[in-house]
């Protein structure tokens, strides 16, 4: 059984309005790309400024706000934010899903590598996982990823970086990954999409 009580912003309960800070009806504090509120010298970060409510997002925002306060010319530029469900097996995802791509009329292709074909996963006795990468069919650039299995939360970082850098499937597949590791599954998923993988039989694309 999974039970979650959820979270709610408390912007309306901290007296922010008394300092002239705008607060939405739901309790969020709107900020710009430098984490500034409508009052220039007051900054806000984390769950208070909106979804996703994730610790690593808040940490990034806090660092950004501190740099701006220190006089750095920085702003929020992250394309994607990875998420992890710390279950067993772990589930991690980043970027768009296939359903979201369909809603956006984005034609995508998928490369999915089953961990049953991973030497490291076999050695660990954890072959139930998989690594799935989602690519824009027009550009072959990665736009999303989903990983299920032990340490999925660690592995998803490579996919997040690839999306940020605008990597194509070939870029990922041509990057040499250490063997035998779970990280190889990322490159192999890209090879599945490209049709160049030798570790699996993949029917040719029609």
Known catalytic residues are 179
The Cα–Cα gap between 64 and 51 comes to 17
Are 179 and 122 in contact by the 8 Å Cβ rule? The answer is no
SS (H, E, C) 62-94: HHHHHHHHCCCCCCCCCCCCCEEECCCCCEEEE
State the DSSP H helix or E strand holding residue 97, giving kind and residue range, or none if neither: none
Are 76 and 35 in contact by the 8 Å Cβ rule? The answer is yes
Per DSSP, the three-state class of 116 is helix
The Cα–Cα gap between 100 and 104 comes to 6
The Cα–Cα gap between 134 and 137 comes to 9
- β-partners of residue 136 are 108
Could you count the other beta carbons within 10 Å of the beta carbon of residue 42? 15
Are 80 and 161 in contact by the 8 Å Cβ rule? The answer is no
């Amino acid at each position: 059984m999974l039970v979650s009580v959820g979270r709610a912003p408390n912007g309306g309960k901290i007296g922010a309005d008394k300092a002239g800070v705008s607060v939405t009806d739901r309790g969020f504090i709107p900020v710009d790309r430098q984490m500034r509120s409508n009052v220039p010298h007051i900054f806000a970060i984390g769950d208070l400024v909106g979804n996703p409510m994730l610790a690593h997002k808040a940490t990034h925002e806090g660092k950004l706000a501190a740099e701006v306060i220190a006089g750095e010319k920085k702003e929020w530029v992250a394309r994607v934010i990875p998420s992890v469900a710390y279950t067993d097996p772990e589930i991690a995802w980043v970027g768009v899903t296939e359903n979201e791509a369909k809603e956006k009329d984005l034609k995508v292709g998928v490369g999915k590598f089953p961990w049953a074909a991973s030497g490291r996963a076999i050695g660990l006795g954890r072959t139930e996982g998989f690594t799935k990468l989602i690519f824009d069919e027009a550009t072959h650039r990665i736009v999303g990823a989903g990983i299920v299995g032990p340490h999925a939360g660690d592995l998803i970082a490579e996919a997040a970086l690839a999306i940020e850098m605008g990597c194509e499937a070939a870029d990922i597949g041509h990057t040499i990954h250490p063997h035998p590791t779970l990280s190889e599954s990322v490159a192999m998923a890209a090879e599945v999409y490209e049709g160049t993988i030798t570790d699996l039989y993949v029917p040719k694309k029609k």
